[in-house]
Amino acid sequence: MKPKDYFILGTKLFGIWCFFQGIVGVFAAIPTFMPPPKLSADMGGTYVATVLVTRIVPVLFIAAGIYLLRGWNRLYEFAYPREAEQGPGLEWKFVLFVKLLGIYLLVVYIPDLLRTASAFLILECATIL
């Protein structure tokens, strides 16, 4: 197999992982569809921000999973603009695994970034009031 083939295989495996993470997130977001008891105006804004992030993260996981599973060539052409030649020894494997690690980190930490941004906005709103 060529390095590009390993990359395609790895991205499809990440796609499956993302898809299942999204499905788990959907089940975790189901309770957010039940309205809470009366909330004050400032707590209502906080609740809406939290619910919004809780609902968006599974959608992002499912979208990323579908994108990676469908095998769109833009990602593969970006990672391998020309057919890479096999370098001596383990060099091409190292480059391959660094690229796969980059995809993994993007998929895992973008939802954390959204949650952190939401928490920051909530704290900013709370300090203003």
pLDDT, mean of residues 54-61 = 92
Angle, in degrees to the nearest 10, between helices 91-128 and 41-70: 160
User: In terms of residue numbers, what domain contains 91?
Assistant: 3-128
Q: Give pTM, 2 decimals.
A: 0.65
The pLDDT assigned to 60 comes to 92
The pLDDT assigned to 94 comes to 65
pLDDT, mean of residues 27-55 = 80
Higher pLDDT, 22 or 88: 22
Q: Given pLDDT bands bounded at 50, 70 and 90, which one contains residue 119? A: confident
pLDDT, mean of residues 92-112 = 80
**Residue indicated by tokens 């999973």:** 65
C-beta separation of 69 from 16 below 8 A: yes
The pLDDT assigned to 89 comes to 58
Q: What is the domain count for the chain?
A: 1
The Cβ of residue 107 has, within 10 Å, a number of other Cβ atoms equal to 19
**C-alpha 92: how far from its chain's center?**
26
